[in-house]
Amino acid sequence: WDVCAQCVFSSCGFSEGSNLTPAHHYSDFRFKTYAPVAFRYFRELFGIRPDDFLYSLCSEPLIELSNPGASGSVFYVSGDDEFIIKTVQHKEAEFLQKLLPGYYMNLNQNPRTLLPKFYGLYCIQSGGNNIRLVVMNNLLPRAIKMHLKYDMKGSTYKRRASQKEREKPKPTFKDLDFMQDLPDGLFLDSDMHNALCKTILRDCLVLQSFKIMDYSLLVGIHNLDLARRERDAEGCQMGPEGLGLSDSRRPVAQKALYSTAVEAIQGEARLGGSVETDELMGGIPARSSKGERLMLYIGIIDILQSYRLIKKLEHSWKALVHDGDTVSVHRPGFYSDRFQRFMCNTVF
């Protein structure tokens, strides 16, 4: 689990390359892959073949995404929309390595989960700088227009999108924004709601067992009825059932198993209705309080935070000034309970 393999890419003789590395025009750098055997197990668990993994990441240039959070990380998506590549700090990479054995056991027993799927951890060393990258499943397919996007923790303290965030073309809103925009929440079929809440409960218990906190539920909302109105108004290309293609491409089914929101819970609930979910890449059918038809793309993100001294101090300081139950940084057990209540009583 803690083995590290590395290749050295030398600038000497770059035009020819070597039997281990391809030719390149960059200065010397080292490429490290952490726990390669462990992550290979993860990829096999989710049905990702080595050649598909390499093709997804290497056949086309990666596409940089705007930062959806305040972590300072840089996000990229593979050209086929299959994987997210995120830069992580040294402590996060270190924590992920320690997490791997227990995390693998949990996912092996229950691959249907909203928890992130980690497919690889790497480091590029060049000029005294270390860039650490983690490869994960992509929750929000670019081929489908997200009319609204929320990052929610179940907290109300400073949980409103900043003015700078709101000015972005595709802003990510927060808990208070959701409560204002959708005060009645999102309506699911009864069986789907029960299955979703069971999945959230199970996932929160896993995170709590690892003393993980400060995670969020990312919710992307595609409004089928609004997409159809946009098609009628603009005459742009749309797919079946009002599917809004954001870049004129037809969506391609994801290769990884259990990689979509609906797959995460379909073991306990069957989809109903006439929506062609294959065309909508695994979204969860829902409705707004106005009766609008929606497809939801959800997953738990930002799980590489352990409740250590710095977080204990942060919570203690905030609790002195504000109501301790409303701040986002909290001990793992309380955080888990509050997260579940908010998601299953307020959001869904």
CATH of domain 2-137: 3.30.800.10
Query: How many DSSP H helices and E strands does the chain contain?
Result: 10, 11
CATH of domain 148-233+280-347: 3.30.810.10
Instruction: Report pLDDT for 216.
Output: 95
DSSP bridge partners of 8? 30
Pairing mode of beta strands 29-34, 4-9? antiparallel
Using DSSP's 3-state secondary structure scheme, residue 223 falls into strand
pLDDT digits (tens, 9 = 90+) for 122-132: 998 887 889 99
The Cα 329–Cα 281 span in angstroms is 33
pLDDT digits (tens, 9 = 90+) for 12-30: 545 566 665 666 666 777 8
Alpha helices per DSSP H over 46-187:
50-58, 90-109, 163-166, 175-181
Contact criterion met (CB below 8 Å) for 222 and 295 = yes
User: Tens place of pLDDT for every residue, the chain, 348 residues?
Assistant: 566 665 555 555 455 666 656 666 667 778 889 999 889 988 998 889 999 999 999 888 899 987 655 567 899 999 888 999 999 999 999 999 988 888 888 888 888 899 999 999 999 888 788 999 999 999 998 889 999 999 999 988 889 999 999 998 889 999 999 999 999 999 999 999 999 999 999 999 999 999 898 899 999 999 999 999 988 887 655 554 445 554 444 345 455 666 677 777 765 444 444 444 444 667 899 999 999 999 999 999 999 876 554 455 554 545 545 555 555 555 889 999 999 999 999 999
Contact criterion met (CB below 8 Å) for 262 and 283 = yes
**What's the residue count for the chain?**
348
Q: Which of 57, 152, 182 is nearest to 342 (CA)?
A: 152
pLDDT digits (tens, 9 = 90+) for 288-334: 999 999 999 999 999 987 655 445 555 454 554 555 555 555 588 99
Chain CA centroid to CA 264, Å: 13
The domain segmentation of the chain, as residue ranges, is 2-137, 148-233+280-347
pLDDT digits (tens, 9 = 90+) for 184-209: 999 999 999 999 999 999 999 999 99
